[in-house]
């Protein structure tokens, strides 16, 4: 059936379908097939957002779709013919075309045992996960919305298609998909669907780590702060079991008025505040995982005060293990683990201390210190604001640290051996000695003294001091 929602039709009417998608529809219909625009394009157009890639569903078997597109002069790739999918390449745009299908039973809780093709678009829409993703649109026929997806969009509700339990039992990943769409759209999850999310979150154990990781990246990319961990903790704990021990874990410290989980949620909130809602992916992962090592490192002193000595190092190791599990890219993983390792590293508002943190960042993530020091300051501000009220003024000190770091970087102040105005070859040439480990030791000593402010980064001063150090090492 076609919805009578005038608002929905008006929103779709103002959204321009790409020329490529229009050519695909024309080619398929010229061959006698039925075709609709489906999926995210329809949802985003109804929301008034700029739609992304276009997906087309058709009554034609993939072989007939391919033939019709080629007759129309379009280049075609067979990108998923087992599931009835080919892709038309038009300029720089790809349009996926998939035959209407019905999934067989999900015997392993992850994949349908078989796919059955059909010539009814309604049956194809009925197999989809959420009502907001189960709509179809055609520029002439209008909106096809058999499950009330447009109404749910207007109401700001995420709802499963049909019985939520049955839908999630088919594929446990749909638990996280419901959370992702709620986070991305700022919607609430309908009550029956929410109950299924909470009760069936353990089904994620059947899902591959790579698929879980992709959904988690989408959840964090939504910029919803601590909402997913605060309100959808069952799903988040099932996805990352290491998060669960943080719940209710009292910190027993005058610096903290919240348990570890609530503190982390607050840090996630403040990261979005301090970045205007456009935090980098490494910042969002760091906010989520920065204190994950605390439950393993609590030590209570004779006064009953809790301490977490070594929790950044423990958290770094745990974070690396988690991110490897989800197959995150190496460079991203390294930036995240570096921020986790140094988030609690003391930094004073002095030249030497700020240069020292730059050196530490470069050691853990070579070449990334100028970028990561700004990210680290965001984490430190957010961490301070999530502490007990009496200790939040450190966030103001971080402003000064941030200013100093920018100033030192702008003047190319050295924090790496390579930044010094002298090189190992200069030292060898001046000394006349054979190469050896001593050269590196001389350079590292010079760097420490320059960073501390006791030695000028000038060739003559460095050469003279290098000669003295070299004689002492001889």
DSSP characters for 48-108? TS---S-EEEESS-HHHHHHHHHHTT-EEEEEEGGGTEEEEEETTEEEEEEE-EEE---TT
381, 395 in Cβ contact below 8 A? yes
- Which strand (E) or helix (H) includes residue 407? helix 394-410
- On whether both 14 and 101 belong to a single domain, the answer is yes
- On whether both 68 and 177 belong to a single domain, the answer is no
- On whether both 404 and 293 belong to a single domain, the answer is yes
- What is the CATH classification number for the domain harbouring 353? 1.10.3210
236: Cα separation from own chain's centroid: 14
- On whether both 325 and 374 belong to a single domain, the answer is yes
- On whether both 245 and 386 belong to a single domain, the answer is yes
Size (the chain), residues? 474
Mark which of 239, 257, 279 sits at the end of a domain: 239
Residues of the chain with pLDDT under 70: 1-15, 104-114
- What is the CATH classification number for the domain harbouring 101? 3.30.460.10
> What pLDDT does 14 receive?
54
Give the tens place of pLDDT for each residue, 322-342: 999 999 999 999 999 999 999
CA-CA distance, 180 to 174, in Å (whole number)?
9
pTM above 0.85, yes or no: yes
- On whether both 54 and 40 belong to a single domain, the answer is yes
- What is the CATH classification number for the domain harbouring 220? 1.10.110.30
> What pLDDT does 423 receive?
95
> What pLDDT does 431 receive?
86
> What pLDDT does 5 receive?
55
CB contact set of 383 (below 8 Å; sequence gap of 6+): 267, 290, 343, 344
- On whether both 406 and 458 belong to a single domain, the answer is no
- On whether both 372 and 397 belong to a single domain, the answer is yes
> What pLDDT does 2 receive?
44
The Cβ of residue 3 has, within 10 Å, a number of other Cβ atoms equal to: 18
CA-CA distance, 404 to 399, in Å (whole number)?
9
Structural tokens at position 378: 């965001």
- Kindly state whether residue 431 falls inside one of the protein's structural domains: yes
The Cβ of residue 116 has, within 10 Å, a number of other Cβ atoms equal to: 11
> What pLDDT does 136 receive?
97
> What pLDDT does 359 receive?
98
- Kindly state whether residue 206 falls inside one of the protein's structural domains: yes
- Kindly state whether residue 1 falls inside one of the protein's structural domains: no
> What pLDDT does 113 receive?
61
Rounded (5°) CA angle 450-453-454? 80
> What pLDDT does 4 receive?
45
CA-CA distance, 234 to 435, in Å (whole number)?
59
167, 174 in Cβ contact below 8 A? yes
- On whether both 257 and 395 belong to a single domain, the answer is yes
Q: Strand 101-103 vs strand 93-99: parallel, antiparallel, or unpaired?
A: unpaired
- Kindly state whether residue 111 falls inside one of the protein's structural domains: yes
| SS3 state at 190 | coil
| Segments forming the whole domain that contains residue 209 | 162-239
Structural tokens at position 456: 């000028």
Structural tokens at position 163: 């019985």
Structural tokens at position 119: 């010539």
15, 51 in Cβ contact below 8 A? yes
- On whether both 366 and 436 belong to a single domain, the answer is no
Mark which of 190, 212, 239 sits at the end of a domain: 239
- Kindly state whether residue 151 falls inside one of the protein's structural domains: yes
116, 124 in Cβ contact below 8 A? no
Give the number of domains in the chain: 4
Q: What is the 3-state secondary structure (H, E, C) of 280-292?
A: CHHHHHHHHHCCC
- On whether both 223 and 245 belong to a single domain, the answer is no
CA-CA distance, 96 to 81, in Å (whole number)?
11
- On whether both 229 and 184 belong to a single domain, the answer is yes
Q: Which of 65, 109, 358 is nearest to 211 (CA)?
A: 109
Mark which of 239, 271, 302 sits at the end of a domain: 239
């Amino acid at each position: 059936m076609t919805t009578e929602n005038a608002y929905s039709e008006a929103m779709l009417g103002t959204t321009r379908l790409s020329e490529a998608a229009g050519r695909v529809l024309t080619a398929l219909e010229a061959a006698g097939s039925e075709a609709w625009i489906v999926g995210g394009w329809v949802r985003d157009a109804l929301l008034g957002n700029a739609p992304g890639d276009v997906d087309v569903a058709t009554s034609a078997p993939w072989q007939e779709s391919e033939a019709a597109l080629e007759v129309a002069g379009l280049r075609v790739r067979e990108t998923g013919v087992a599931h009835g999918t080919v892709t038309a390449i038009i300029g720089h745009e790809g349009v996926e075309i998939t035959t209407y299908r019905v999934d067989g039973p999900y015997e392993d809780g992850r994949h349908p045992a078989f796919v059955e093709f059909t010539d009814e678009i309604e049956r194809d829409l009925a197999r989809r996960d959420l009502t907001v993703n189960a709509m179809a649109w055609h520029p002439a026929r209008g909106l096809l919305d058999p499950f009330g997806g447009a109404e749910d969009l207007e109401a700001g509700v995420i709802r499963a298609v049909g019985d939520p339990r049955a839908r999630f039992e088919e594929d446990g990943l749909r638990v996280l998909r419901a959370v992702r769409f709620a986070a991305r759209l700022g919607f609430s999850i309908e009550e029956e669907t929410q109950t299924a999310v909470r009760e069936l979150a353990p089904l994620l154990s059947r899902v591959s780590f790579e698929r879980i990781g992709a959904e988690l990246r989408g959840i964090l990319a939504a910029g919803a702060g601590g909402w997913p961990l605060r309100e959808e903790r069952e799903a988040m704990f099932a996805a990352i079991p290491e998060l669960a021990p943080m719940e209710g874990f009292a910190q027993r410290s005058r610096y903290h008025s919240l348990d570890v989980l609530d503190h982390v949620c607050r840090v996630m909130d403040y990261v979005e505040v301090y970045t205007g809602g456009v935090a980098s992916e490494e910042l969002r992962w760091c906010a989520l995982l920065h204190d994950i090592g605390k439950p393993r490192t609590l030590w209570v002193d004779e006064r009953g005060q809790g301490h977490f000595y070594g929790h950044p190092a423990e958290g770094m190791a745990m974070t690396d293990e988690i991110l490897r599990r989800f197959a995150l890219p190496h460079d991203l993983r390294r930036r995240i683990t570096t921020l986790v390792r140094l988030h609690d590293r003391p930094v004073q508002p002095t030249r030497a201390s700020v240069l020292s943190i730059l050196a530490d960042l470069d050691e853990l993530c070579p070449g990334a210190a100028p970028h990561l020091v700004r990210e680290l300051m965001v984490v430190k501000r957010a961490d301070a604001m999530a502490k007990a009220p009496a200790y939040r003024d450190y966030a103001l000190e971080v402003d000064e640290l941030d200013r100093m770091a920018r100033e030192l970087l702008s003047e190319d102040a050295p924090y790496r051996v390579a930044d010094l105005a002298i090189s190992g070859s200069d030292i060898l040439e001046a000394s006349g000695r054979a190469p050896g480990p001593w050269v590196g030791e001389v350079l590292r000593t010079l760097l420490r003294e320059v960073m501390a402010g006791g030695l000028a980064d000038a060739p003559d001063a460095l050469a003279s001091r290098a000669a003295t150090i070299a004689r002492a090492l001889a």
